[in-house]
Homo-oligomer: A and B are copies of this chain.
Amino acid sequence: MEIKVLRDILEHDGEFARRTREDLRGRGVLCLNLIGAPGSGKTTMLRSLIALASDRLRFGVIIGDIASQLDAERFSPLGIPVVQLNTGGACHLSARLTRRGFEALASNELDVVMVENVGNLACPAEFDLGEDAKLSMVSVAEGHDKPVKYPLLFHQAAAHILSKTDLDPFVDFDRDQYYAALNATGHRAPVFPICAKTGEGLDAVIDWIAGMLDAKRKGREPGLRPEA
């Protein structure tokens, strides 16, 4: 009985994800679902990346938080469309709630919608929002063992962002161990070390996003790698 109830909820949410995916395909818009721990630097990276890519790609942003509008406010200097979603307690975005974000963005001509999920490495990985791909984000301040502890996200992600590389000299992050932990999840995705403060590494992420968008518009579903 309990299982049935839970399945109904998930199937219902999956229907919202399917509709979102269909709409985005029709409009040729790429959607990426960014998942990282609290404080991994999701908002800071998105701001820097979108500013750097402003001559190439038109971005919209959907931000999920349990509470507050803080992150959405941080985008206002960029003059791009941003929607803040508050889950009111839930530790991840649902497809149903996220769809309201897409609807709020629908009047804008966009190339890419970045969804910044609630800060959490666990639950957001379990929910399909209708996105083309999930991105993992880990800061070097968090330690290299995260893929071992949260394998589902790292197994699924189509790209991995390794953030705050400016802190490398001051923390014990071991990149070899991080790569080994990633490989143990069976992932097949590129890793992008970045520093959002200096902009280091962001060009490579932008190129990757542009490649994913191009693949989608040419009718090739984005896979784990845009050139696949």
> Which residues from B are CB-within-8-Å of A150?
38, 66-67, 119
Task: Give the residue of B65, B146, B164 whose beta carbon is less than 8 angstroms from that of A149.
Answer: B65
Instruction: Mark out the residues of chain A between 100 and 146 whose CB falls within 8 Å of any chain B CB in the assembled complex.
Output: 118-123, 126, 138-139, 141-143, 145-146
Nearest-Cβ distance from residue A166 to partner chain B, whole angstroms:
7
> Which residues from B are CB-within-8-Å of A89?
122, 126, 152
A39 within 8 A of B: yes
- Contacts A67-B151, A141-B139, A170-B167: A39 and B146 contacting too (C-beta < 8 A)? yes
Q: How large is the interface on A (under 10, 10 to 19, 20 to 34, 35 or more residues)?
A: 35 or more
Are the CB atoms of A142 and B38 closer together than 8 Å? yes
> Which residues from B are CB-within-8-Å of A148?
67-68, 70
Are the CB atoms of B39 and A119 closer together than 8 Å? no
A37 within 8 A of B: yes
How many angstroms between the C-alpha atoms of A118 and B146 in the bound complex?
12
- Contacts A37-B37, A146-B39, A170-B170: A141 and B120 contacting too (C-beta < 8 A)? no
> Which residues from B are CB-within-8-Å of A209?
none
Looking at A1-9, A15-23, A50-58, A211-219, the stretch in contact with chain B turns out to be A1-9
Are the CB atoms of B66 and A141 closer together than 8 Å? no
Nearest-Cβ distance from residue A9 to partner chain B, whole angstroms:
7
Q: A37-B39, A70-B145, A119-B150 are in contact. List 16 more A-B contacts (CB 8 A).
A: A1-B5, A2-B5, A37-B37, A37-B38, A37-B119, A66-B149, A67-B148, A68-B145, A68-B148, A70-B149, A89-B152, A91-B123, A118-B122, A119-B121, A166-B170, A167-B170
